[in-house]
Structure 1
Amino acid sequence: GLNFYNGLINELIKNKIEPIVTIYHFDLPLNLQKEYGGWKSRKIVKDFQRYCHVLFTNFGDRVKYWLTINEQSNMFALPYLLKYKDEVLDEKIKFQMNHHMMLANAVAIKLAHKMLPNAKIGPAIRVITILSGNHRNQLMF
């Protein structure tokens, strides 16, 4: 995987395209999910930090812009889209997973600031229009 993304980043730069890396985009390794429940376990924070270290070490010399976690709230607001099992719909578990993602986001940003002082890093938040029952046929900005 590292060779593929090194080549991709180099090709982007060669073609004058600024690379932006999304660290997590709903692609948790299955073994972490099976081993300890993925985002349900606080263990994920340390694994996410190690993963970020690998990315920053291998790509940080060429990548300035980083997105830590893509649209985190989708994992909890729209679980049916991600085909979670019913247990994840439990509010306590959703908040626990969200908390672990926020911790992972924080350690990623802290590590980036330490390893890549000139990097720009933060989460990609979900932006979606929500209409009230009285305004379903109107777009509101």
Structure 2
Amino acid sequence: MPIYHIFDADSFTLAAERYAAVLDLRQDYVQARPEAAVIFDFLQHHWPKLANSFDSPLIPSTNNTVERVIGRFDQHYQNFCGFESIADAQCYLAVFEKLYRFTPFSQDAQPSVRGKSPLQLAGYDTSQLPMTTITAGLSIVWPVQTQEAPLVPSL
């Protein structure tokens, strides 16, 4: 299927031409196999983000993200003595994965990634997401006034 050739393109112009050619095949493919509509819907939905990597000096054309995340996780894991169970390890990894995607790189990172999160580098606008505020070290809800706690008598 020519869909794979879209991503072999060396430029955005060529990729866009190949993308349009694939979309022109939609009716024929869907008529022959109705379940193929999902593939075309997925491609159309994600094309704006996928297209960002072509001709961009900031967004890598290869997917080394997994290797970077594993390396980053390994750095954090070195500080642990281990997990009590596989379930605990899976929970920790799930939380780490989400935090990693939103957490901006430090100011001593490469200038091209400094202060940006992996999702921002991939072309996503995360500025309106509460998770971005949390991982940047800010809180999304700051109390306007403090509440006085009731006194607890000491026994």
Q: What is the TM-score when the length of structure 1 is the normalising length?
A: 0.29
- For the pair shown, which has the larger CA radius of gyration, 1 or 2? 2
Name the one with the larger strand percent.
Answer: 1
